[in-house]
Amino acid sequence: MDDVTGLSFDDLAGEAAVLGVYRQVFAVLARESGAMILDASSVDVDEAILGSFAEAGPEGLTVEQVVLACGRYSAAQVRRRFEVLREYRAVERVKDRPHELYHRAAFAPYVMLLFLRRIADRGGQAELHQLLTLEHLSVQESGATVDDARGTTQRLSTVFRLLANQLAGLAVGGVVETLRENAQLLWGNHGLLDQANDVHQTVLSRWSELDRECRALRLAIAAYRDAVDAAAGRLIEQAGATRALGLLPVEAWLSFAREAEVGALSDVLNDFLFDAPAPWFAADTLIEAVESAQHTTPVRVTPPRPQTEPGSPTEDVVPDAEAERLGALAEQLLGDRGQVGVTELIDEIGDWLGGRRLLADLTAMHLHDTLPYELRWSDRLRIDVERNLSWVTEGRFARVTEMGEMTETGRS
Amino acid sequence: MTDVDQAMAWARARAAGPQRVPASTPSGAGMRRLVETEAGGVWLLPVLPEGAGPTVLEELGLTATPVEQPNDTARVLAACLRCCWSEPNGSPWPGVVASWEQVTSVFRGITDNRDERYSNIALVAGVRRLAGAGWLRWSETTREVQLGPRVAAWRDPELSTLRELWRLIPTIDKPAESGQVEPA
């Protein structure tokens, strides 16, 4: 009703009639005026109310009679639903006058209720099949016009678009559990697709001018097929090779096992016999292990290797803090001299601890393979009982000028 | 068998795996009776439905019960299977008793070029581990090895793979010091 002013009185009356039927139809879904019901029990009460009207015959019933007839439900509940139904004009006064007590029911809400029940039971698949059959019959009729066919095509496009959108959303971004609950949308889709294709074929062959509409229908059907494939793929991937789509997902079990009370957990597990957790050796595992053992290299203790290898590329890159320290110390000890006697150096220090540290450093300089220093011990031994260090082996600490060549002056 | 007995038997199996009971004990529902060769006792092995075995864990992306040194342990089991599975055309249970020397020589045959000391450590550790999990029966005093009740849980497709394995492993009569195995 975009442009009310442009409509004639007849059009307005027609629209009002359609709206009235809509209101009646949706009355069973209304909780209060303007709000949807939230629980299935309200629908049960509605069904009982409408049923009691059907029993009553054309005279109708008063509110009290209805309450009495629906004795299974509480009086307050029945009254409340009755009011809602009356507001939506699903229940009307027999004669429209003040203080009229008798009411009668319209049939449209009950028909709607039946549809809702069927759709709730079977997910709308059966209704969709029937709808497709009806549409197919209508386009096959000899008296069908191009407008009928256009309407049919557009309606079917819409249905399949909606189906495909819902499924595709679930298949791509939805939680797997939601997808699993809606898996009924996936079932029997081959029949649906075949029927839809039949309708499409009929329309296209009879009215070639409906090319565009048919294209839309083709696209919608293809979109639905893709969505079904995606959703089924996701479910199968989740279920593993067992294909047990009906099983609860792993996450559900895990979180249940973690959070459940002891009682609830034991109730559930009561009927399950399972083995204690133990390592499992599959036949393939054994074969793999045995075969891999026959190709392994002998297990040997790795021989000690030098920590630094001369000329290895890492050696040049990584600065050696120890080498720097030793080099600086060696230069300090040697000064300008090419060599120096160990006894001299030891005497400069004069105590055990310092002497020991110095000897350690000298040995380290000698052994370090990037530092050009050498330590040579002679056979002579200086013994002096008066001094702090009474036994000192004589030796020479010298700088090596070339690789492997020592300053000859150092040799006595 | 009363409900309480049944519940207890199930609880034991769930907590500790296959149970050894006196031969006179009736077996509850869902249990498979595995009679020992000497008929001295019966092992009760929980029977899992087809397709609900431990392999499902992998499909569901769950980690299986971890085992230390999985490869060596599997090799030890393979060696014991070779020694104890006397008739590879039938079921591995109950099998025959294998001496420690037999198992050692077969295990060394599998891991041919390994140091003897490490090989022994791996063997003893593996046998203990497997005995704890019900794959082997092992007596520390007599040092004799037998297959455990869990080997009966292998199903037919796996058994045929295992028969191949049985043929793959060098025979016990072969001198251990030859060190060579037949190519796979």
pLDDT digits (tens, 9 = 90+) for B145-183: 999 999 988 888 888 989 988 888 876 554 444 444 444
Query: B49-81: buried (b, 16+ CB within 10 Å) or exposed (e) per residue?
Result: eeeebbbbbeebeeeeeebeeebbbbbbbbbbb
pLDDT digits (tens, 9 = 90+) for A181-202: 666 666 557 778 888 888 888 8
Task: Give the residue on B whose Cα is nearest the Cα of A284.
Answer: B161
Residue with tokens 């709206």: A19
Question: Residue A319: what residue type?
Answer: P
**pLDDT tens digits along A329-385:** 888 888 888 888 888 888 888 788 888 888 898 888 888 888 888 888 888 888 888
pLDDT in tens, A201-246: 888 888 888 888 888 889 988 888 888 888 877 777 766 555 555 5
Tokens (6 digits) for A176: 């797997």
User: Is A279–B81 a contact, with Cβ atoms under 8 angstroms apart?
Assistant: no
The answer to whether the CB of A206 falls within 8 A of the CB of A223 is no
Return the structure tokens found at B139: 């007596």
Residue A382, pLDDT score: 84
Residue of A nearest to B28 (CA): A273
Q: Give the angle B3-B8-B10 at the CA atoms, nearest 5°.
A: 95
Q: Do B14 and A285 touch (CB under 8 A)?
A: no
For helices A189-206 and A146-173, angle between their N-to-C axes, nearest 10 degrees = 150
* pLDDT, tens digit, 9 for 90 and up, residues A296-330: 555 566 677 766 655 555 545 556 788 888 888 88
Q: Is the pLDDT of residue B112 over 90?
A: no
Spatial separation of the C-alpha atoms in residues B151 and B165, rounded to whole Å? 14
Mutate which: A245, A294, A295, vs B, most B CBs within 10 A = A294
The helices-and-strands tally (H runs, E runs) of chain A is 17, 8
**∠ CA A135-A138-A141, rounded to 5°:** 150
Q: How far, in Å, are A139, B135, B141 from residue B108 at the CA level? A: 81, 20, 22
DSSP classification of residue A185: G
Instruction: Check CB contact under 8 Å for A242 and B46.
Output: no
With CB atoms and an 8 Å threshold, state whether A290 touches B73. no
Cis peptide leading into B94, omega within 30 of 0? yes
CA of residue A86 relative to chain centroid, distance: 47
Domain residues of chain B, as ranges?
Answer: 3-47, 70-178
B55, B73, B111 ranked by CB distance to A282: nearest: B55
Q: Where are the alpha helices (DSSP H) in A294-377?
A: 313-317, 321-334, 342-349, 352-367
For residues A309 and A376, what is the distance between their CA atoms, to the nearest angstrom?
23
Of chain A, the percentage scoring pLDDT greater than 70 comes to: 74
A149 within 8 A of A156, measured Cβ to Cβ:
no
Cβ within 8 Å of A, B 76-115: 77-78, 81, 110-115
Tens of pLDDT along A96-153? Answer: 777 788 888 888 878 877 877 777 666 666 777 788 888 888 888 888 888 888 888 8
Q: Which of B3, B32, B47, B71 to mutate to test the interface with A (most CBs of A within 10 A)?
A: B71
Q: What is the ipTM of this complex?
A: 0.83
Integer Cα distance of A185 and A231 in angstroms: 10
Please, which pLDDT band fits residue A173 given cuts at 50, 70 and 90? confident
